[in-house]
Amino acid sequence: MAEEKTIEAAIPEADEDVLAFEQQVDIEDHMVLNMGPSHPSTHGVLLIILTLAGEEVIKAEPDLGYLHRGMEKIAEGHGYHKFIPYTDRWDYLAPIANNMTYVTAIERLMGVQAPERAEALRVICWEIGRIQSHLLGLGAFAMDIGALTIFLWTFRERELLYDLIERLCGARFTTSYARIGGVDRDPPADWLRDLKAFCTEFPDRIDEYELLLTRNRIWVDRNQGVGVISREDALAYGLTGPILRGSGVEYDLRKEEPYAGYEKYEFDVPIGKHGDCYDRYLCRVEEMRQSAKIILQAIEGLPEGPVILDDYKSSIPEKQGVLTGMEQLIHQFIVITEGPKAAKGGEYYFRAENPKGTLGIYAVGDGTNHPQRLRIRGPSFMNLSILPKLLPGHMLADVVAILGSFDFVMGEADR
């Protein structure tokens, strides 16, 4: 309850600040620099219109929408099932995690529950997505600050993960591994063993990255005290994920409202103290270790059984059954062409702790095979909202550091 009060108190204050700033600044006297939409460190197509006094930023206006593809509208025209491949393209650095979040939301809308083995596999996928995303986030962050080697080192591990994903679902990048009522298929032989080997090895690799960065004087100087977000601001602007936790708010949906059996796993939620770029970096690094820990636990306790629901009204029947049985063949035809239906008037808001923060899916069913409305709450979009308040007062080089520490992805912000 205390947190809600702070939110109400902080919002008007923040707006006044921005207004006051705009009045102070006389734009005529300063240089206006368009940073983006194609700039090496805006991670895609973010445009920030910076007003500079020398190297100091006095005003920053983010301009979004260059990667807008109308995802929410597309969802209204497609069936629930056919929309799954589109989820790969939101946060394209962790497509497999998006699949899981979307499908869980649709399952809850339809009132079905995936079997236990599928749930455990989903947890594994969510955490693989987190490691994938944080690896690239860390690499790009370090590269923005000038440490180019880290970027290629993190790609070494990302490559191993992509190989594993390819073996799991046939595609490296556009995974579409989730299905309504479960997942596409059981992992191939030896896959779990190799994933386990990766996760056992991985903490050592993180140590390597940390050796180059964590106590590096230049890295510390560039990040400590830069881009400080107070606890109140972080809550007021609706920031989520490592950015929120870096500001000292202990908020992780995996702990707050566990889904897919997250309550069964033992892991810590790293919390920062100062809310600066350095704390955000430390949070991400620690989250990768915790993710590896969760995957190991999930592999250890992976239950036997089917990976997709045995309910032909909502889920695709097993392939072997489709090839031999009449009933399965008919249902497969119906599910693929028409797709499962959600009840009229039914609505559900599901949110999950995705790598970049809270990914929320709000779906409204109208009795047909496609949603009447599908709202996607992308964490990157919300996280970027604090830039106009955060950037002024920093140097141009800090802008790059702050953007790197935010680890946003425009596919998700613009959708």
Partner 1 sequence: MDFWIDDIGWPFIKIFIIANVALMMVALLVWAERRVAALIQDRLGPNRVGPLGLLQPVADVIKLFLKEDLTPGHVNRPFFIIAPALTMMPAIISLAVIPFGASLIIADLDIGILFIFAISSLAVYGITIGGWASNSKYSLLGGIRSTAQMISYEICLGLSVIGVFMLSKSLRLQDVVLMQGDGIWLFGEHYTGIMGKILDWNIFKQPIGFILFMIAGFAETNRTPFDLAEAEQELAAGFHTEFSSMKFALYFLGEYAAMISIGAITVTLYLGGWTFFGLENLGGSFSWLTQILIFAVKLLALQFFFIWVRWTIPRFRYDQLMRLGWQVLLPIGLANILLTGVLKLIFKV
Which residues here bind partner 1, judged by CB under 8 A?
Answer: 31, 33, 39-41, 55, 142-149, 152-153, 156, 212-213, 216, 218-219, 221-222, 395-400
At its nearest, how many Å lie between partner 1 and the CB of residue 398?
7
Where residue 354 falls (left for φ over 0; alpha for ψ -120 to 50; beta otherwise) is beta
Nearer to partner 1, 157 or 414 (CB): 157
Nearer to partner 1, 222 or 331 (CB): 222
Nearer to partner 1, 228 or 397 (CB): 397
Nearer to partner 1, 213 or 363 (CB): 213
CA distance 225 to 235: 19
Nearer to partner 1, 147 or 169 (CB): 147
Nearer to partner 1, 287 or 398 (CB): 398
Where residue 400 falls (left for φ over 0; alpha for ψ -120 to 50; beta otherwise) is alpha
At its nearest, how many Å lie between partner 1 and the CB of residue 199?
20
Q: Would you tell me how many other CB atoms lie within 10 Å of the CB of residue 321?
A: 15
Nearer to partner 1, 36 or 182 (CB): 36
Residues with Cβ within 8 Å of 39's Cβ and at least 6 positions away in sequence, in order, are: none
Nearer to partner 1, 15 or 207 (CB): 207
Identify which of 326, 221, 321 has the alpha carbon closest to the alpha carbon of residue 276. Answer: 221
Nearer to partner 1, 96 or 213 (CB): 213
DSSP one-letter code for 41 = T
Cβ-in-10-Å burial (0-12, 13-18, 19+) of 34 comes to exposed
* Whether the Cβ atoms of residue 80 and residue 371 lie closer than 8 Å to each other: yes
Identify which of 131, 115, 30, 195 has the alpha carbon closest to the alpha carbon of residue 354. Answer: 131
At its nearest, how many Å lie between partner 1 and the CB of residue 152?
4
At its nearest, how many Å lie between partner 1 and the CB of residue 156?
6
The per-residue DSSP string of 185-235 comes to SPPPTTHHHHHHHHHHHHHHHHHHHHHHHTT-HHHHHHHTTSS---HHHHH
The per-residue DSSP string of 225-274 comes to TSS---HHHHHHTT--THHHHHTT----HHHHS--TTGGGS-------SS
At its nearest, how many Å lie between partner 1 and the CB of residue 139?
11
Q: Would you tell me how many other CB atoms lie within 10 Å of the CB of residue 47?
A: 18
The per-residue DSSP string of 52-73 comes to EETTEEEEEEEE--TT---HHH
At its nearest, how many Å lie between partner 1 and the CB of residue 205?
11
At its nearest, how many Å lie between partner 1 and the CB of residue 212?
7
Kind and range of the H or E run holding 137: helix 116-145
At its nearest, how many Å lie between partner 1 and the CB of residue 216?
6
At its nearest, how many Å lie between partner 1 and the CB of residue 293?
25
Identify which of 109, 110, 129, 107 has the alpha carbon closest to the alpha carbon of residue 119. Answer: 107
